Amino acid sequence: MSDNNIKIDDVAKALGISKTTVSRSLSGKGRISEATRQKVLEYVETHNYRPNPIAKGLASSKTYNLAWVVPANSDMNALSFFQRCLGGVISASNEADYDIIITTTHAYDNKRLIKLVENRKVDGVILGQTLVNDINIEFLKKSGMPFVVIGSTSVSGVTMIDNDHSAACRELTAVLVMKGMKRIAYIGGDSTKVVNITRRDGFITGAAGNCSMIQMDCNDYKDISLAVDNAIDKNSDCIVCEDDRICQQVLAKLEKEMIQVPEKIKVASFYNSTLLENNKPPITSLQYDPRELGKVAVDILLKKTDNAEVPEKTILGYEVLLKASTQ
């Protein structure tokens, strides 16, 4: 028999013990003598035995699946962030011999997530985004399912993995002020997303009164175009954009109006991505690593599934990229 085809029955027959004894020896659970356990472990090591994932799950009451939850209404630019996070999630889960189930939810509808959890399809959940009033967090806390969030929340007892958006946005804005910008306009997106509120608040602190306007909930080109008009009317010397999507559309509006960057007005973004990498002039921005967020989220979640203690909040770093758009 090929070692690649060896099954738990074969191990039991070869050693003259029951399948239950083999399972308990492999899982480390149950009352088994140390001598028997070592005999089983030596045999499976010699014969390169690899337990079937389904049988392994049944023996340990685990599914060896994790859920990755993203908003169903994400636009293409937001999907880029989630895809990069997912790369880290998959990398870390593969190392731990876990699979990933991807599902989506709406701000008002999380039936898919509820079904996954209530049917015990997963051992833990990673929420890719947090909202101000988050029904996913509320449900998961009540369910008892281990979970972590990528982002921040004011809800107590939730395990968070996030970049230091507050410090990053505060630092970049303060640098702009030190460079002589005194009338800085801020254009932001959906105010129901925690990260957007955090970035706005970081901007306010960093601006220290050197702010010409703050306009949130700019969710399409029309909104952003009107916000740019407003910034120009207020004689703003710089526009700070909440993220790469908004920044790209701000730049398109300025180009349409033949307003040169940085000669007539300076521009910066609180999130850098491939959307901005080929722009001329290059855009001052903040650099984060979504892939690292995903990897750390899995590492911490797996510790939670084993009932290990984990920090309530893990903060990852950032980099300030000063480029020609604010020179």
| pLDDT digits 0-9 by tens, 95-147 | 988 999 999 998 899 999 999 998 889 999 999 999 999 999 999 999 989 99
What's 20-81 look like in SS3? HHHHHHHHCCCCCCHHHHHHHHHHHHHCCCCCCHHHHHHHHCCCCEEEEEEECCCCHHHHHH
- Cα 89 from chain centre: 9
Is the pLDDT assigned to residue 298 strictly greater than 90? yes
Average pLDDT over every residue of 263-272:
96
Q: How far apart are CA 92 and CA 100, in angstroms?
A: 10
Cβ 124 vs Cβ 66: under 8 Å: yes
> What's the predicted TM-score (pTM) here?
0.77
pLDDT digits (tens, 9 = 90+) for 62-108: 888 999 999 887 665 566 788 899 999 999 999 988 999 999 998 89
- Cα 184 from chain centre: 29
Average pLDDT over every residue of 284-300:
96
| Residue-range domains of the chain with CATH | 3-60 (1.10.260.40), 65-163+291-318 (3.40.50.2300), 165-287+321-326 (3.40.50.2300)
